[in-house]
Amino acid sequence: MVAAPEPAVPDAPRRATARDYVALAKPGITALIVTVALGGFLLASPRSIDLARLAILLVTGAAGSAGAAMLNHYLDRDLDARMNRTRRRPLPDARIAPSGIVAALGLVLLGAGIGVASWQLNPLTGFSIFLGGLTYVVVYTAWLKRRSSWNIVIGGFAGSAPALAGSAAAVGDWTTGVLAFALLVFLWTPPHFWSLALLLKDDYQRAGLPMLPRMDDVAFSGKVVVVSAALLVPAAAVIGLTGTLAWPVLVVLLALGAAFVGFTLPLWSEVTRSTARRGFIYSGPYLVGVVVAIVLNAPLLRAGVPIGL
């Protein structure tokens, strides 16, 4: 007599690890946000640096960014499940359940970042962090991402807000130089994300996300990436016009912008995964390079190096 087969036992759900919770904070983006805040702080106050205030800014900015990232994960969990790039994230892969835990933790971290910055620094710093979180979570993720190809253009302000927070933490105001720096970060966001969208065009199309200027015209979108990268060169000059940069730093910022154009220029004539990857890979180091130059700007100004423009 042949024994009846035993009923199949469903696979046990995979348990979340500490690494999963770290991933929910989007550490790469959070590090970039903190880097921009550092740039804003040093650009606003290059000659007198209060290390205690800077430390509070970086901690509260990181908390706010991590909280906003978790809320983004929560709101996008259905979209993430439909994309190859994101379907293994903790929420679509059901490693963390219920998903409401992530939303609650995100709200706590974002609220803590805003609250502590307002209390320990000043209300304008907290308000700047709030603006960044509001733009990223509500304007970009919840409102525009699924509806409009303008999503990343308008949502790009979320990356500019940390610069404003840095200025507010340093001097209690948004300085002209930092406003120009925030404009540069705002203009950096479209070529950064549009290069990624060209690289992952099929994935975004399957998910129904309008992530390019024209989802049905890749050649046009490639040209827009080149033009948007070119805007970073005059944006750097605008920072120089505010009288906040030593001339060697201004030269570096102009050169970094010109290099960005060079990396994206092949997209003008041919859009392939290779040409799209070039622009995307350079875009992150470009912004880091800008902030490093701004960090070096402080000792140059203190040494008496003349300002540019």
Same domain? For 45 and 163 the reply is yes
* Model pTM score: 0.93
Same domain? For 285 and 138 the reply is no
The answer to whether the beta carbons of residues 129 and 114 sit under 8 Å apart is yes
The answer to whether the beta carbons of residues 186 and 176 sit under 8 Å apart is no
What domain range is 222 assigned to?
A: 175-309
pLDDT score for 13: 53
Same domain? For 126 and 182 the reply is no
Q: pLDDT of the chain along its 309 residues, tens only?
A: 444 444 444 444 567 788 999 999 999 999 999 999 999 999 999 989 999 999 999 999 999 999 999 999 999 999 999 999 899 999 999 998 889 999 999 999 999 999 999 999 999 999 999 999 999 999 999 999 999 999 999 999 999 999 999 999 999 999 999 999 999 999 999 999 999 999 999 899 888 899 999 888 999 999 999 999 999 999 999 999 999 999 999 999 999 999 999 999 999 999 999 999 999 999 999 999 999 999 999 999 999 999 987
Same domain? For 113 and 224 the reply is no
End of a domain among 174, 195, 230?
A: 174
pLDDT score for 97: 83
- Is residue 145 in a domain? yes
Same domain? For 196 and 294 the reply is yes
End of a domain among 174, 207, 227?
A: 174
- Is residue 12 in a domain? no
End of a domain among 158, 174, 190?
A: 174
Same domain? For 57 and 76 the reply is yes
pLDDT score for 207: 87
Same domain? For 91 and 114 the reply is yes
- Is residue 1 in a domain? no
Instruction: Enumerate the β-bridge partners of residue 246.
Output: 307
- Is residue 2 in a domain? no
Same domain? For 188 and 118 the reply is no
- Is residue 4 in a domain? no
What is the count of structural domains for the chain?
2
pLDDT score for 17: 86
Same domain? For 67 and 148 the reply is yes
Same domain? For 65 and 130 the reply is yes
- Is residue 3 in a domain? no
pLDDT score for 6: 46
Same domain? For 46 and 123 the reply is yes
* CATH code where residue 97 lies: 1.10.357.140
- Is residue 5 in a domain? no
Same domain? For 148 and 34 the reply is yes
